[in-house]
Chain A
């Protein structure tokens, strides 16, 4: 019963490096999301997708890119890492837009440090 799987769990990047945070779900959910959580702050929406081939910006999209080529996978790309991107990143999915029956299911997060 995997649910939402995120890799890696931890990563240290140097300023200017690039990386891709992986996210996969096995629940056949249409909707997928990327959030970041900074210390003492709530989760901020970076990007989301309502289905394969469709993505849209959230509250804090600058410095990130996403793609959704399959229902299962929703990778998040950091092109030029900056210290401001040090955070814990959570991927989430939900079954439908009917919020009453489809809350977000979260992965366990990726802790990223940029130095």
Chain B
């Protein structure tokens, strides 16, 4: 039973526009959420995180929004760049050093 879900396997966006990647979770005990970016043949790299006490966290072109009532988080990339083309994973944790990952969304930013 997957506790973190990314229902869109892929997303295609024009360069300069906004990319919105979505993630849903089922475990109400999750209190920390992260986004990772993964290029082919490389390991995931940390992008941005948010604690459950916040509803928004921003870092440059990347913003993560958390809606706890809906158990939903999203990653906004503005403006999107071709170098952003990668697979994006969301992850969540309820402590105990365990992180649960979604299945990933492949973002393609077209020049």
Contact = CB atoms under 8 A, between A and B. Distances in A.
Given A40-B9, A104-B46, A108-B41, A99 B101 contact: no
B74 interface: no
Interface residues of A, number: 26
Given A100-B32, A100-B51, A43 B101 contact: yes
Contact of A45 (B4, B34, B99): B99
Interface residues of B, number: 27
Nearest to A44: B101
A109 B89 CA distance: 16
B7 to A, nearest CB: 12
Contacts of A33: 97, 99
Contacts of A41: 103
Given A42-B89, A104-B46, A107-B43, A31 B97 contact: yes
A114 B9 CA distance: 26
Interface in A45-59: 45, 48, 50, 58
A58 B98 CA distance: 8
Most central of B45, B97, B98 by chain A CB within 10 Å: B97
A94 B41 CA distance: 21
B42 interface: yes
Interface string B80-101: 0000000001010101011111
B43 A108 contact: yes
B102 to A, nearest CB: 5
B45 A106 contact: yes
A56 B46 CA distance: 24
Interface of B: 2, 4, 6, 9, 32, 34, 36, 41-46, 49, 51, 89, 91, 93, 95, 97-104
